């Protein structure tokens, strides 16, 4: 299972017609957030005006549920910052921010174009195409011509010549008086015919494949050893960290994944080889999750188990030929030195054919709820 569902209630408010007005973001203690305009405040609660499908609504939130309130930031500022992430090659950061912006304003062409660029940067071309196609469904008139030409280019690269022509012509027809746009579309239509005839297709494909291979090699050469011993381990650690942050944003401080694989598989992967082939060759997978010890001890044991199961099965799903080990640790000080302290572990019990949860901390059972994990002394 790619994402093990947390046994915690999630509360989210989506803004569909927001076009850049300033709004506060209220982060709740459960990990969710609400974005809108604060219209009233008391010592006990605040009232927030949010946009809903049929207009606006005002909701009240008790202050006891609030973790923090972020100051207002304009939509344009956030879009500029996310676009800078794309330009810097930080595609994951850009994607997270741009998806939030699109929730606020699904019809914003700039946000969708930037998200498509970020997805292409991560080699997720089909998702990039669907992101732009969704814009066309939401905006039947007055469409952004740059977005339409970007989508037409994606269709061309996928050898979907019919839709490439159709979207490009529709873009030109929106503003027939725009001579520059008309000339660009005419040239694009001619290029479609050349590519279709094979005069450019092989060259473009070869160039793209070489660029993809070069980027994969560069990415894998720059491994952050504090997150993983190889690049895919680093990505796995980032995924574990992001998943936990959805429900407990301040709990996890870092994640480290260590993988074992044959030397030839490691060499092929480092040279830009296929991700899936490498993951199929991984024979050992160990994850170390570093947490804030005080916050971990505050949690009930059943909540800790949910996180451990989630981390374990994400690793198991990613590296299907392994039986991963997930260890939760905290950093403590002894004199002038920092040491690692084990708090809990998830591992496979072959005799019982199940995941076993061990813990090295005192029992913290939720009233009325049984606990089946054991304390290791």
CB 15 within 8 A of CB 35: yes
The pLDDT of residue 278 is 92
Strands 354-359 and 374-375: parallel
Residues 314 and 316: their CA atoms lie apart, in Å, by: 5
Location of structure tokens 């027809």 = 173
330 vs 326: CA distance, rounded Å = 13
Per-domain boundaries in the chain: 24-70, 75-203, 224-375
Per-residue model confidence (pLDDT) at position 164: 94
What are the φ and ψ backbone dihedral angles of 273, each rounded to 5 degrees? -65, 175
Q: What is the pLDDT of residue 176?
A: 93
Q: What is the pLDDT of residue 10?
A: 27
What is the C-alpha separation between 191 and 199, in angstroms, rounded? Answer: 10
Nearest to 156 by CA among 205, 91, 209, 211: 205
**E strands present in the chain:** 24-28, 33-41, 45-52, 55-62, 66-70, 252-260, 284-291, 325-334, 337-349, 354-359, 374-375
Return the structure tokens found at 240. 């574990």
Burial of 232 (0-12, 13-18, 19+ CB in 10 A): buried
Q: How far apart are CA 157 and CA 204, in angstroms?
A: 9
Q: Do residues 258 and 240 lie in contact, with contact meaning Cβ atoms separated by under 8 Å?
A: no
Q: How far apart are CA 190 and CA 148, in angstroms?
A: 17
Distance CA 105, CA 17 (A): 5
Instruction: Write the CA distances from 130 to 50, 54, 125, 155, 192, integer angstroms.
Output: 27, 26, 9, 11, 21
Distance CA(54)–CA(16), nearest Å, equals 10
> What does the DSSP assignment read for 292-334?
-HHHHHHS-HHHHHHHHHHHHHHHHHHSTT---EEEEEEEEEE
- Residue 303 near residue 323, CB atoms below 8 Å: no
In angstroms, the CA 24 to CA 199 distance is 53
Separation between Cα atoms, residue 303 and residue 305, nearest integer Å: 5
**Assigned CATH topology for domain 75-203:** 1.25.40
Q: At what angle do helices 125-138 and 109-121 cross, to 10 degrees?
A: 170
Going residue by residue through the chain (377 aa), what tens digit of pLDDT does each one get? 323 332 222 223 232 233 334 567 888 988 888 877 888 899 899 998 887 666 778 889 999 998 888 775 788 888 988 899 899 888 998 999 999 999 989 999 999 999 999 999 989 999 999 999 999 999 999 999 999 999 999 999 888 999 999 999 999 999 999 999 999 999 999 999 888 887 666 666 667 777 777 787 888 888 889 999 999 999 999 999 999 988 888 999 999 999 999 999 898 888 888 889 999 999 999 999 999 999 999 999 989 999 999 999 999 999 999 999 999 999 998 888 889 999 999 999 988 899 999 999 888 887 776 555 554 44
């Amino acid at each position: 299972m790619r994402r093990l569902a947390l046994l915690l209630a999630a509360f989210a408010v989506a803004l569909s017609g927001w076009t850049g007005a300033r709004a506060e973001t209220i982060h709740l203690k459960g990990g969710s957030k609400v974005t809108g305009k604060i219209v009233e405040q008391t010592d006990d609660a605040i009232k927030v005006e949010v946009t809903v499908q049929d207009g606006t609504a005002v909701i009240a939130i008790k202050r006891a549920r609030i973790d923090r309130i972020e100051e207002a930031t304009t939509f344009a500022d956030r879009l500029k910052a996310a676009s800078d992430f794309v330009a810097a090659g930080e595609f994951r950061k850009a994607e997270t921010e741009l998806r939030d912006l699109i929730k606020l304003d699904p019809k914003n062409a700039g946000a969708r174009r930037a998200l498509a660029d970020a997805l292409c940067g991560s080699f997720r071309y089909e998702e990039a195409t669907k992101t732009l196609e969704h814009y066309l469904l939401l905006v039947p008139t007055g469409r952004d011509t740059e977005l339409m030409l970007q989508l037409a280019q994606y269709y061309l690269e996928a050898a979907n010549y019919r839709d490439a022509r159709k979207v490009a012509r529709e873009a030109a027809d929106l503003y027939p008086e725009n001579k520059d746009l008309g000339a660009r579309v005419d040239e694009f239509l001619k290029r479609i015919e050349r590519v279709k005839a094979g005069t450019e297709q092989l060259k473009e494909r070869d160039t793209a494949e070489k660029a993809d291979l070069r980027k994969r090699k560069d990415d894998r050469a720059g491994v952050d050893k504090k997150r993983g011993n190889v690049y895919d381990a680093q990505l796995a650690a980032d995924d574990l960290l992001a998943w936990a942050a959805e429900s407990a944003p301040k709990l996890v401080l870092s994640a480290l994944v260590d993988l074992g694989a044959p030397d030839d598989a490691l060499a092929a992967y480092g040279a830009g080889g296929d991700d899936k082939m490498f993951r199929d060759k991984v024979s050992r997978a160990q994850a170390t999750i570093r947490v804030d010890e005080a916050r971990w001890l505050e949690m009930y044991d059943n909540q800790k188990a949910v996180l451990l199961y989630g981390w374990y099965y994400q690793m198991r799903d990613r590296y299907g030929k392994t039986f991963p080990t997930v260890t939760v640790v905290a950093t403590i000080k002894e004199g002038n030195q920092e040491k690692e302290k084990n708090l809990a572990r998830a591992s496979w019990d072959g005799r019982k054919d199940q995941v076993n949860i061990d813990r090295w901390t005192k029992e913290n059972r939720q009233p009325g709820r049984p606990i089946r994990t054991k304390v290791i002394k």
